[in-house]
């Protein structure tokens, strides 16, 4: 639901920003003055941040449900005990990476 919300919100924000930029180029005395007073310079940056979070939440959902794309040819040939250790290591490395990126991003 969160990823779907981000996709919908990003679509609406970018649509509004593009229409705003397009309409503010017309020399319509009352409309152009009002549109030029509205600052939508934040829209692109917000959408970039939302797409990053969509990717993060989508990847986390994929890992949780087991549908995340991964190269597991080598892992599947290991014994069960060794495979479990590699899977735990991979999940912890992903969590560490996400925590680092989230901390640096904040």
Whether residue 11 is predicted with pLDDT greater than 80 in this model: the reply is yes
Neighbours of 9 (CB within 10 A): 13
CA distance 59 to 90: 13
Q: Within this chain, do residues 81 and 58 fall inside the same structural domain, yes or no?
A: no
Q: Within this chain, do residues 19 and 56 fall inside the same structural domain, yes or no?
A: yes
Our measurement of the distance from residue 79's CA atom to the centroid of its chain's CA atoms, rounded to an integer in Å, reads 36
Q: Within this chain, do residues 57 and 74 fall inside the same structural domain, yes or no?
A: no
Q: Within this chain, do residues 7 and 21 fall inside the same structural domain, yes or no?
A: yes
Q: Within this chain, do residues 24 and 72 fall inside the same structural domain, yes or no?
A: no
Q: Within this chain, do residues 42 and 90 fall inside the same structural domain, yes or no?
A: no
Q: What residue numbers bound the domain in which 89 lies?
A: 68-105
Q: What is the pLDDT of residue 75?
A: 86
Q: What is the pLDDT of residue 88?
A: 92
Q: Within this chain, do residues 74 and 23 fall inside the same structural domain, yes or no?
A: no
Our measurement of the distance from residue 95's CA atom to the centroid of its chain's CA atoms, rounded to an integer in Å, reads 16
Question: What confidence tier does 31 reach under pLDDT thresholds 50, 70, 90?
Answer: confident
Residues 2/57, Cβ–Cβ less than 8 Å? yes
- pLDDT tens for each residue of 35-88: 888 999 899 999 999 998 898 888 888 878 877 777 778 888 899 999 999 989
Angle formed by the axes of helices 43-65 and 2-23, to 10°?
160
């Amino acid at each position: 639901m969160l990823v779907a919300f981000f996709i919908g919100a990003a679509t609406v924000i970018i649509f509004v920003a593009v229409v705003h930029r397009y309409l503010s180029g017309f020399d319509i005395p009352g409309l152009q003055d009002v549109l030029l007073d509205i600052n939508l310079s934040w829209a692109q940056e917000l959408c970039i941040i939302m797409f990053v979070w969509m990717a993060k939440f989508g990847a986390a959902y994929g890992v949780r449900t087991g549908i995340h794309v991964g190269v597991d040819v080598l892992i599947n040939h290991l014994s069960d005990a060794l495979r479990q250790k590699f899977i735990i290591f991979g999940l912890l490395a992903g969590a560490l990476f996400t925590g680092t990126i989230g901390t640096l991003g904040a």
